[in-house]
Structure 1
């Protein structure tokens, strides 16, 4: 009996490792790519002094932090490491804050492209580095205040008992001791957030399409702005899909055992959480003619390849 138990435990551990390694390695690769992108956006003045690149830095920073926190939570669940409620609460709160930053930043980026196309003469007046910094601060403050209020108002346990209380299961939002109105609060906030963001991005796209019919508008600029806004809509949809992760996990946990739930959770984690956060670096790193040669230069570890150095020097 003891031998069978050990074999079962070893198989379970092996399966956990086989689940975690194929997911962790690509995640680390994309974290490195995002880190290179963040370094590029801060190392040159042309990126630090341009509003759309400042917004892109904020988007990538939030996506990178959210990816790292999500991977941490995933590994904690795979290896069944239990935390105390305060520690888990801080990690989950930070993950929620960074998750909500993406749609809010996409709204600001869409409005910036709308002003650039529809009001080109006023763009330099409205879209300044100072106003962009204020917009970024407002985005972070709005997301942070919402999550802090949720923790304070909806936590269904006293602070004295919370300090030394260890969780009975792995660290996840659905395993936190939240009040009975927590689900309603999350649904209402998510509906409000993504409906508002969807309306803002869609209106920006419609405004750009209307501007495209004007004879005095730069057609090439309008085409690029239209494609960018379409990408923003796709990214917004992918961000919306992340809100379905926890409800799906709850529903699946009721009808499957722990190992089957781990398999499904791993699949959903890759499709819903990980992949959407990897797209920003790929989309903007490849599409942007200013970033692409520098990104390729750094991805080649600064090797003196035939094509890269010439482009890199031009960008520098």
Structure 2
């Protein structure tokens, strides 16, 4: 009789565990579907904005829109890599170190480039409001492309330094390993963390000072005009948006702390981090610009009215 009771209890526990595992798998699949849908929406919206950019001649020659289009492309690359890496870690997929290093390095570079892009966009608005007569001379399409090249050069410098430190300090057999592909897994030496943290902190401080300086100068001009609808006031609100974007980029760094959790809900934590700290901040900029900017909003309305 006791054996039957123990056997029945064991069956009940097994059934409950199976039910729990099935529910856990369903939740994982649900999160994957939600994340995939959100990512596809982002890509679709970015493509609409880029179509407007590439099909409107005067937009392609405007420094402000060149920098904006570059930010869209850069954020798309960052989110694509971020989604792939998050899925890989969440689903416990092990990747060879060389491939992982390339993916993580590209993701880190595109992450660093976003604040630099915000700084140049803030400077463009500053020149447009404070030096309107010199704006067309200073903010040309050619100089915008030079600024983009400078962003990529500076953005990749820490990665080059990290690579030199890594190959000069670890054994060659390290690169034959497979691991869960995330940034923390590739920090095998303390100096790597020092290099990454120092440059990241310095970049955020510098960009914050640039945005703060340009905002103060632009708002002084807006106060002189005394009109809430003046171009200076609109530029001031744009700079506030850039400051919010910078803060959200900084906030996304907190994901590294929550991802140290290795419990049974690790996958959900990683997916929530991607959705809240990586996806939503990048969606904010194209969404607001697409609605707020007259050039893009008119072109999008015209595009969809033609389709209908």
Q: Which residue of 2 aligns with 1:313?
A: none
Are residues 1:303 and 2:307 paired? yes
Tell me how large the CA RMSD over aligned residues is: 2.5
Alignment of 1:7-22 (within 5 A): 10-22=22-34
Are residues 1:81 and 2:86 paired? no
Measure, in 2, the Cα distance between the counterparts of 1:263 and 1:84: 24
Determine which of 84, 102, 109 is the counterpart of 1:97: 109
Structure 2 gaps, min length 5? 1-9
Determine which of 223, 227, 231 is the counterpart of 2:237: 227
Measure, in 1, the Cα distance between the counterparts of 2:91 and 2:19: 17
State the secondary structure of the residue aligned to 2:38.
Answer: helix
Question: How far off its partner does 1:295 sit?
Answer: 2.4
Determine which of 296, 302, 308 is the counterpart of 1:291: 296
Given that 2:222 and 2:230 are in contact with CA atoms closer than 8 Å, whether structure 1 keeps it comes out as no
Are residues 1:197 and 2:207 paired? yes
Could you tell me the TM-score, scaled by structure 1's length? Answer: 0.85
Given that 1:63 and 1:102 are in contact with CA atoms closer than 8 Å, whether structure 2 keeps it comes out as yes
Measure, in 1, the Cα distance between the counterparts of 2:226 and 2:277: 42
Determine which of 118, 121, 136 is the counterpart of 1:106: 118
Cα distance change, pair 301–92 in 1 and its aligned pair in 2 (3 A)? farther
Paired residues, number: 295
Could you tell me the TM-score, scaled by structure 2's length? Answer: 0.87
Measure, in 2, the Cα distance between the counterparts of 1:226 and 1:245: 30
Q: Which residue of 2 aligns with 1:244?
A: 254
Given that 1:69 and 1:91 are in contact with CA atoms closer than 8 Å, whether structure 2 keeps it comes out as yes
Question: How far off its partner does 1:301 sit?
Answer: 8.7
Cα distance change, pair 83–60 in 1 and its aligned pair in 2 (3 A)? same
Alignment of 1:165-184 (within 5 A): 165-167=177-179, 170-184=180-194
Measure, in 2, the Cα distance between the counterparts of 1:180 and 1:194: 21
Are residues 1:268 and 2:273 paired? yes
Given that 1:97 and 1:143 are in contact with CA atoms closer than 8 Å, whether structure 2 keeps it comes out as yes
Determine which of 155, 164, 177 is the counterpart of 1:152: 164
